[in-house]
Chain A
Amino acid sequence: DTGVSQNPRHKITKRGQNVTFRCDPISEHNRLYWYRQTLGQGPEFLTYFQNEAQLEKSRLLSDRFSAERPKGSFSTLEIQRTEQGDSAMYLCASNLWVGQGIIYGYTFGSGTRLTVV
């Protein structure tokens, strides 16, 4: 297993278009997270899954955003009717959660850079 994979690496889209990003986590990891990072800032939490269940969503995740993890493996993040303010790096992370705690740390992918023009 080579880590967390995100596709595409870069996406340029026109305002108003829909975009979808994919994240493939480490296979044995049951939790998957989406973060957004804008220039000069740290990653901001968007949502996370345990297996196929979406357990929490941030207030940053407007109605235009939707995330799925249908089989508990890969996940997709879709943004509808993109706006220029959506331009950011979208990061995916995964970890193995057991019982009351996590094992190891969070492994991040290289991210998808979205530019809305």
Chain B
Amino acid sequence: AQSVTQPDIHITVSEGASLELRCNYSYGATPYLFWYVQSPGQGLQLLLKYFSGDTLVQGIKGFEAEFKRSQSSFNLRKPSVHWSDAAEYFCAVESGGSYIPTFGRGTSLIVHP
């Protein structure tokens, strides 16, 4: 069964600093991978996705993520964090045949001025 691990429950960064949020998945073949962001009381907004091809994917709001098959990882990065990036971030994986995304428990990003 597919699973997703986001090892960091909270991440605190200063505004302007770089960011990396970790995501590891468990699935044999190449999955579909997603990063979503959720502001308090809101639904989830898609930041970026990986289906195939170039392993470095660009998303909205200046985010990018890199798929590393050897490490079963799909880490999210941003070179310079803005205060408005403070939110909950979720990694999700969908195996080729399940058609059902499985989400990690999320990482809460706190941005200090």
Q: Is the CB of A108 within 8 A of B102?
A: no
Q: Is the CB of A40 within 8 A of B105?
A: yes
What is the bound-complex CA distance between A40 and B45, given in angstroms?
17
A residues near B92, Cβ cutoff 8 Å: 42
If A42-B103, A48-B100, A113-B41 touch, whether A105 touches B90 (CB-CB below 8 Å) is no
B residues near A97, Cβ cutoff 8 Å: 99
Chain A CB within 8 A of B51 CB: yes
Interface of A, helix, strand, loop or mixed by DSSP: strand
Within the complex, the shortest CB–CB distance from A19 to chain B, in Å, comes to 19
If A41-B106, A42-B90, A105-B49 touch, whether A110 touches B99 (CB-CB below 8 Å) is no
Residues 13-46 of chain A: 1 if any B CB is under 8 Å from the residue's CB, otherwise 0?
Answer: 0000000000000000001010100001111110
Chain A CB within 8 A of B43 CB: yes
Within the complex, the shortest CB–CB distance from A61 to chain B, in Å, comes to 13
What is the bound-complex CA distance between A48 and B41, given in angstroms?
23
What is the bound-complex CA distance between A112 and B54, given in angstroms?
36
Q: Is the CB of A45 within 8 A of B90?
A: no
Q: Is the CB of A43 within 8 A of B41?
A: no
Within the complex, the shortest CB–CB distance from A30 to chain B, in Å, comes to 12
Within the complex, the shortest CB–CB distance from B94 to chain A, in Å, comes to 8
Chain B CB within 8 A of A91 CB: yes
What is the bound-complex CA distance between A109 and B46, given in angstroms?
11
| Residues on A facing B (Cβ under 8 Å) | 4, 6, 31, 33, 35, 40-45, 48, 55-56, 91, 93, 97, 101-102, 104-111, 113
Can you list 6 A-B contacts with CB-CB less than 8 angstroms, sorted by A residue number? A45-B100, A45-B101, A102-B32, A105-B34, A108-B36, A108-B43
Question: What 6 pairs between A and B have smallest CB-CB spacing?
Answer: A42-B103, A108-B43, A108-B44, A110-B43, A105-B46, A105-B49
